[in-house]
Amino acid sequence: MSTDTTTTSPATANPSSASNRPPTFSDPFPTPQPHPHPHPPRQTKPPPHRPSPYFTIPPPLKRIFDAFPLLTYPAYSLPYRSPRRRDEHALFVFATEEGAREGKPSFNPGCLRWQTYLKFKGVGFRVVRSCNHASPSGVLPFVIPAGGRGSDGAETVTAGGLGRWGREQGTRRRKGVGEKEKEAEDGSKGEAEQGEKVKEHEFEERQDVRFEMYMSLIDTRIRCAWLHSLYHTRNLTTIIKPLYITPLSSSPIIRAATLHSLLASATSSLLTSSPHNIIDPSLLYQQADEAFQALDTLLGEDEWFFGEKKPGLLDAAVFSYTHLLLDERLGGGEGWVDGRLAEIVKACENLVGHRGRILERYYAARGR
C-alpha cells in the first residue's frame, strides 16, 4: 500500500488564517525598545577635593578677624644710642657708656685694633656702644659713614673693609683744597707728594711676608692665651661678667645663657687651635711669651714697627692686646686676678713704651 506524502509551505498551510490577518504598515517613528541588557545610568562624580595651599580660617575665627582688620604701623625710629649727627662717622664697638661718651679705648681687642687704626689714619669718628647683634655681619666693629643711615643710606663698613676704608679716608683728609691748588701750581712737587703717600701704605698694601708672619703670631698664639686667661681663669668673674654679661640684661636666665654661649665658643676655639684638641695652659702661655718677645725684639728702639715714620696696622694690633693687659682696672673692679699673661707683657719694655706712646698721642691718656 503506497502513501502519497505532500509537503505544504507555511504560506499555504492555512489559507483561511492568512486571508483573515489584517494588513501591516511600517511605522516611520518606531518606539524605541529597551535594551535587553540595560546599563546603569552614568553618574557625574564631584571633582576630587584638593587641599588649599593656604590655611583655611574657621568661620567663627574669621568673623573675629574681620572685626579687627590689619593695621600698618609707622616705621620704628632709630634706637636712642644711634648717632643723631650725620656729619660725622660713627664707629660701633664694645664699650662702656662712659667709654663711648669720652672716646676711650674699647675693652675688646678686635674693636680696639680698628678703633686705633682709624685714629692712626686721622679719621674722625664718634664711638657708639653696641653689640654683635647690631652689626650687619654679626661681628663688631662696623662704621656708618657720615651722612649714612645704615641700610637706608650709605653702606655700612664692616670689619673686613675697615682697613681699605680707613686708608681711603686718610688720603681724602690729607687732600685739602689748598693742597690740590698747590699741587696744580707745582706738578713735579705734587707727583713727589703722591709718591710719598703711596710709599706710606706700600708696606701694608703689598702684604709683606714679615707683616703676615707677625700678624699671625697675634691672631693665633696671643689670642689663644687671651681667651684662656679670660674664660678659663678667675678673670671670668672680674672681667668677662662685668663687661659682657651684666650690662646685657637684668634677667638671670639671659645672663646665664649668654655666659654659657661665650664660654662654649671660647673653648671650641681653643680646642680647634690645639694640636691634639687638648687645652694645655702651660703651652698656651709659653707660646704667647715667645710671641710677645718676638714683637718686642722686632720693635727694638724704634717708635713704630718696621721703622715706619707713622704707626700702621701691626702697631694697632699689638696695642689692642698690650693696652688691655696693662690696664689694671679693666672691668671696673679687681681687674686681672690671674695676671700670668699681663706679667709677660710687663717684661717687654719696648712694648710697654709703645703702648704709652699710642695712649699719649692718640687717646690723650684717656685709657689711664
pLDDT at 189: 44
By C-alpha distance, which of 148, 79, 91, 80 is closest to 115? Answer: 91
Give the residue from 234, 284, 244, 248 showing the smallest Cα distance to 265. 244
Q: How high is the pLDDT of residue 173?
A: 72
Per-residue pLDDT tens digits for 99-150: 999 999 999 999 999 999 999 999 999 999 999 988 888 899 999 998 765 4
Rounded Cα gap, residues 124 and 88, in angstroms: 7
Of 107 and 168, the one with more pLDDT = 107
Place of cell 645672663: 255
CB atoms under 10 Å from CB of 196, counted, come to 10
Q: How far apart are CA 196 and CA 173, in angstroms?
A: 15
Q: What ranges do the domains of the chain cover?
A: 83-174, 208-368
182 compared with 113, residue with greater pLDDT? 113
**How many secondary structure helices (H) and strands (E) does the chain include?**
16, 4
Q: Looking at per-residue confidence, does 46 or 27 come out higher?
A: 46
Calculate the average pLDDT of the chain. 80
Query: Which of 284-288, 318-322, 364-368 has the least mean pLDDT?
Result: 364-368
When pLDDT is cut at 50, 70 and 90, the band that residue 242 belongs to is very high
Structure confidence at residue 184 (pLDDT): 46
190 falls in which pLDDT band (50, 70, 90)? very low
Residue 77 is predicted with a pLDDT of 46
Give the separation between CA 245 and CA 258, rounded to whole angstroms: 7
Q: What would the mean pLDDT of 86-107 be, rounded to a whole number?
A: 93
Query: How does strand 157-158 pair with strand 125-129?
Result: unpaired
Q: Which of 66-70, 119-123, 328-332, 361-365 has the highest mean pLDDT?
A: 119-123
Top-level CATH class of 208-368?
mainly alpha
Give which of 281, 190, 201, 198 is closest to 233, Cα–Cα: 281
pLDDT > 70? residue 178: no
Reply yes or no on whether the pLDDT at 193 is more than 90: no
CATH annotation of 83-174: 3.40.30.10
Mean pLDDT for the stretch of residues 326-350: 95
> Which range is most confident: 19-28, 156-165, 231-240?
231-240
Res 129: pLDDT: 96
Please state, in angstroms and as integers, the Cα–Cα distance from residue 200 to each residue in 60, 161, 194, 282, 313, following that order.
74, 19, 10, 40, 12
